[in-house]
Amino acid sequence: MLDLLRARRSIRRYKDEGIDPLVIEKLREAAVRSPTSRGINPWRFIFVADKPLLDDLSRAKEGGSGFLKGAGLGVVVCAEEEKSDVWVEDCSISAIILQLTALSLGLGSCWIQIRNRMHSPTRSSEEYVREILGLPETMRVECIISLGYPAETKSPVPAKDLEFEKILSL
Ligand X SMILES: Cc1cc2nc3c(=O)[nH]c(=O)nc-3n(C[C@H](O)[C@H](O)[C@H](O)COP(=O)(O)O)c2cc1C
Q: Which residues bind ligand X (CB under 6 A)?
A: 9-10, 12, 64, 110-113
CB of 52 to ligand X, least distance (A): 21
3-state SS, 87-114, equals HHHHHHHHHHHHHHHHHHCCCEEEEEEC
| Per-residue buried b or exposed e for 113-146, using 16+ beta carbons within 10 Å of the residue's own CB | ebbebebeeeebbbbbbbeebebeeebbbbbbbb
Which is closer to ligand X, CB of 27 or CB of 110? 110
Which is closer to ligand X, CB of 20 or CB of 59? 59
CB of 57 to ligand X, least distance (A): 12
Which is closer to ligand X, CB of 20 or CB of 97? 97
CB of 21 to ligand X, least distance (A): 27
Q: Cα(169)–Cα(117) distance, rounded to whole angstroms?
A: 35
Which is closer to ligand X, CB of 39 or CB of 158? 158
CB of 156 to ligand X, least distance (A): 9
